[in-house]
Amino acid sequence: MNPPKPNAHSPNGPLVCITGGNGMIGRRLAERYRVDGFSVRIVSRHAPTGIRESAFFGADLLNADDVVKAFRDADRVVHLATPPSQPSADWPHEKIRSASARMMQNVLDACRANNVKSLTLASSVLVYPSDAPVPIAEEWGDRGAPAESKIGYAMGKRDMERLAQAFARETKIGLTIARFSNVFGPRAWSDAHGDVVSRAVMNALQNKPIRVFGDGSQTRSFLFVEDCVDGVRALENANTRGAPVNLAPESDTAVRALVGRIVDLSGSTSAVELSVDPVGPERGLFDVRRAKEFGFVAKTPLETGLAKTIEAYRASAPSVRPDGP
């Protein structure tokens, strides 16, 4: 693919605005866009560390005026930002869903105001109902009810997809919708809102107990962040015409087995504690035929991705070692 040509407003290449770009996926995606010849602007409420001030725009995505200003001169927008997926006292299900729709509408209005040419939306495999047949194909994204434990987040993603598709039909903007499976890798959150891999890795490196929901037999599809970025770029270059696409590996892994591999790879003595928390769907395996048609296949073996993640966390926190803090 030939590198994109600079324009008058972005002398270093067309401008990509990434909402939520200070997270794990956003940072890797920003690096990839720069390699591909784009200029990048991170749009977030909080300035990320290690990013040039000129590449950051502080904005509240729930404030429409902020978003219009943030997207000035943008050729492409990548909407990664989202409310937390896990409900809490501060973020009940209904608030998560309504905030998702408000953010999406503000993003779409700002795209219209700035004549943005293409939009990429990060959706999630959580949109699927718990009883969907596996491997789960994209057409199940608007059928039945998603898992009750994260229904606000899942319904919010469904709303976002519908809003974006209606906007694309009206404006002819180029639209890409990627439904991420369980993305993991360095720089992920490791607190209560983080993914299962990051939480397990941090606990393993400190020899702390690792909690697993249910009996751990439920499976999930774990996608390494570098593969996720490759998938997003493949879909954008393929012109999917707004059809949602699963970004997932070809196989699923039981959560208990995943945690066991993390313990082994990190040389940890962490014990595994089972909990009575809701586990969601029993199987998390997704049909990836559509992604293959558009040129994407996940390439990183799970064990390789886990090893890279463990070493990255260990390097970023020198006091965290397999023999304890």
Q: What are the pLDDT tens digits along the chain (325 aa)? A: 344 444 444 447 999 999 999 889 999 999 999 999 999 999 998 876 665 656 899 999 999 999 999 999 999 999 999 998 888 899 999 999 999 999 999 999 999 999 999 999 999 999 999 899 999 999 999 999 999 989 999 999 999 999 999 999 999 999 999 999 999 998 776 444 458 999 999 999 999 999 998 889 999 999 999 999 999 999 999 989 999 999 999 999 999 999 999 999 999 999 999 887 767 788 999 999 999 999 999 999 999 999 999 999 998 864 444 333 2
pLDDT value at residue 28: 94
Task: Give backbone dihedrals phi and psi of 10, rounded to 5 degrees, phi first.
Answer: -130, 80
Q: Can you tell me the distance from the alpha carbon of 159 to that of 180, in angstroms, rounded to the nearest whole number?
A: 16
CB 310 within 8 A of CB 266: yes
Reference 228, options 249, 258, 250; nearest CA is: 249
pLDDT value at residue 154: 96
Cα-to-chain-centroid distance, residue 273: 27
The SS3 of residue 124 is strand
User: What ranges do the domains of the chain cover?
Assistant: 15-184+223-250+281-299
One of 3.40.50.720, 3.40.50.2300, 3.40.50.300, 1.10.150.120 is the CATH number of 15-184+223-250+281-299, namely: 3.40.50.720
Reference 125, options 296, 265, 246; nearest CA is: 246
pLDDT value at residue 1: 39
pLDDT value at residue 275: 84
